[in-house]
Structure 1
Amino acid sequence: MTESRESAVTGQAWSSHEGAAALAAPTSTEKRRAFDGRILLGFFLPVAIALLWEGAVTFGLAEGRLVPPPSRIIATLSALAQTGELWTHAWMTLWRVLVGFVIGAVSGIVLGALSGSSQTLRQLLDPTLQALRAIPSIAWVPLFILWLGIFEASKVALIAVGVFFPVYLGIAGAILSVDRKLVEVGQVFRLSRVQLARRILLPAVLPEAVIALRSGLGLGFMFVVAAEFMGASEGLGYLLVDGQQMGKPDQILAAIIAFAILGKLADSLLVAATRPLVRWQDIVRERL
């Protein structure tokens, strides 16, 4: 009798807890509305700045010669899109970044994992790689042109260098920062090295690895500008150079905006692709 009464009380308490959790958890509609609100909020600052500058030029408060108003930049983007130039240049830039990102990211993951998991390899590799990381990106340009020529190989190599170092540092640092107690728990349960890596190290490293990949992708878009300064005839970097040589600030700003949009889309795709890998995280951001 007493046991049945305790079971009933426990069941009522558990039901109450589940009911409170269900009431506290946001519904899919609320999550969608919050997501839409965050997107709209993200557009507020650039749209506000564009409208203020457009108004300043329209009412004669600013000249708008060196910094054209948004209406002129949009007209330039529209003209480039209608002729097909914008899509050609954007695709070429995206292709270079994609190839360089894959090469740099794979190299960074492999060497970062080796450096982070072995003290001997870290002492062998890390000093040299840290010294190479300090070399300015532009210093690689003449060497890559001499080795690989002025065509695509040298441009992709420069982008790969830019992607490699943040990925290498992120992976090595993530492995070295794994909580020692987690490893000890795996050793207590007599996990093999492969099981330890798969069940403990990999989940612990993944969140920081995703951040490292995002940093590498961002630097890839930065390095592609320097790469496309190396005698390119296509690409958004070429549009920048052409706009500077022809005295077209509207074309320069149009290329910069195209870079920003392309980089943001690529970053969003990377985040969406890696989200299933870190879905297990119970973080504050997912609850706000």
Structure 2
Amino acid sequence: MSSLVADRVTAQPAAAPPKRQRRRLPDLSRWISPLAIVVLWQLASGTGLLPADKLSSPWTVLQSGVELARSGELGEAFVVSLRRVAIGFVLGAAIGLVLGAVSGLSKWGQALVDPPVQMLRTLPFLGLIPLFILWFGIGEEPKIALVTLGVAFPLYLNVHSGIRNTEPQLIEATTVLGFTRAERLWHVVLPSAIPQTLVGVRQSLGIAWLSLIVGEQVNADAGLGYLINNAREFLRTDVIVVGLVVYAILGLVTDALVRLLEKRALAWRG
């Protein structure tokens, strides 16, 4: 009997080796339109349709960027602007997270916190620059305050929404299972709010760079905004474009970092 079983086992075909998963190639089609725009831009500049005093050619912009990088001027401006955004983002994120949690977790918190926040949110915060200058002077404080304000509001809205939109079925399940309020908060409410919070972080970072661009145009003596403003005085459109490109790259890099964090933090969603 045992020999018969052994014969059947040996007679079974060997399992096929696992197929190798093919690596997905990057989608290069998304680069077609940006490259076409750069080519048309270069052609328009080379043929004289686009005067240099209006907008320098891509090649001139590239050369100016290399020169600024070699001289160290671009690196110094980059460090100053990055420091301002980092400080403003940390302060704004702390304010937005705390106020959003207080307003989202408590009815009294929502009644006391949400109305003034909504009132301030509707103000054109870029128009507060003269008031910030009166309050904080013309140093670093008004620039950081502007970034802080730009970061706090979108993060507050997303944290508040994420907490409030926790599925009622999950809350009922934790009540049946005998969870305490702290356990319900830690195991259900806060994890449910993470996706919406990360969306708020991405929005806040975008507004942070926008706020910095405006803030560094006012009484700045260093940073990318100062570099752009100084180039405007001498009609250096190539330097202006270099500064704007660096701003754009910084925004894309920070957004990519948040998306990577989102992918790892929400790996449980599949």
Matched, 1:122 2:110: yes
Which amino acid in the other structure matches residue 92 of structure 1? V
Which amino acid in the other structure matches residue 74 of structure 2? L
Q: CA deviation at 1:61?
A: 4.5
| Contact 2:195-2:266 at 8 Å conserved across structures | yes
CA distance in 1, matches of 2:137, 2:48: 49
RMSD of aligned residue pairs (Cα, Å): 2.0
CA distance in 1, matches of 2:123, 2:109: 22
Instruction: Report 1:223-234 matches (<5 A).
Output: 223-234=211-222
- Aligned partner of 1:164 in structure 2 is 152
- Aligned partner of 2:131 in structure 1 is 143
Instruction: Report 1:67-82 matches (<5 A).
Output: 67-82=55-70
> Which sits farther off after the overlay, 232-241 or 135-144?
135-144
Matched, 1:257 2:245: yes
CA distance in 2, matches of 1:257, 1:42: 18
Which amino acid in the other structure matches residue 256 of structure 2? S
4+ aligned runs moved over 4 Å, structure 1:
none
Q: CA deviation at 1:242?
A: 1.1
> Which sits farther off after the overlay, 55-64 or 137-146?
55-64
CA distance in 2, matches of 1:100, 1:88: 19
Please, which runs of 5 or more residues in structure 2 have no aligned partner?
1-15
Please, which runs of 5 or more residues in structure 1 have no aligned partner?
1-18, 283-288
| Superimposed CA distance per residue, residues 63-113 of structure 1 (whole angstroms, 9 cap, x where no aligned partner) | 444122110111111111111111111111111001100110111011001
CA distance in 2, matches of 1:91, 1:192: 47
Matched, 1:220 2:212: no
**2:192 maps to which of 185, 204, 227:** 204
Which amino acid in the other structure matches residue 153 of structure 1? E
- Aligned partner of 2:235 in structure 1 is 247
* TM-score normalised by structure 2 residue count: 0.88
Which amino acid in the other structure matches residue 94 of structure 2? V
- Aligned partner of 1:93 in structure 2 is 81
**Shift in CA distance, 158/143, structure 1 to aligned 2, threshold 3 Å:** same
Which amino acid in the other structure matches residue 181 of structure 2? R
CA distance in 1, matches of 2:196, 2:221: 37
Instruction: Report 1:36-47 matches (<5 A).
Output: 37-38=26-27, 40-47=28-35
- Aligned partner of 2:225 in structure 1 is 237
Q: CA deviation at 1:269?
A: 1.9
| Superimposed CA distance per residue, residues 37-58 of structure 1 (whole angstroms, 9 cap, x where no aligned partner) | 14x4444332221112112322
* TM-score normalised by structure 1 residue count: 0.83
CA distance in 2, matches of 1:229, 1:203: 40
- Aligned partner of 2:168 in structure 1 is 180
Which amino acid in the other structure matches residue 254 of structure 1? V
Q: CA deviation at 1:132?
A: 0.6
CA distance in 1, matches of 2:157, 2:102: 12
3-state SS in 2 of match to 1:280: helix
Q: CA deviation at 1:200?
A: 1.1
CA distance in 2, matches of 1:59, 1:146: 49
CA distance in 1, matches of 2:92, 2:175: 33
| Superimposed CA distance per residue, residues 203-259 of structure 1 (whole angstroms, 9 cap, x where no aligned partner) | 211111101001001100000012212211111111221122221111111111110
Which amino acid in the other structure matches residue 137 of structure 1? F
Q: CA deviation at 1:142?
A: 2.0
> Which sits farther off after the overlay, 97-106 or 134-143?
134-143
CA distance in 1, matches of 2:52, 2:34: 17
| Contact 2:158-2:200 at 8 Å conserved across structures | yes
**Normalized per residue, which structure has more helix?**
1
Q: CA deviation at 1:275?
A: 3.0
| Superimposed CA distance per residue, residues 145-191 of structure 1 (whole angstroms, 9 cap, x where no aligned partner) | 22222111221111100000000001001111111111111111111
Which amino acid in the other structure matches residue 239 of structure 1? L
> Which sits farther off after the overlay, 127-136 or 239-248?
239-248
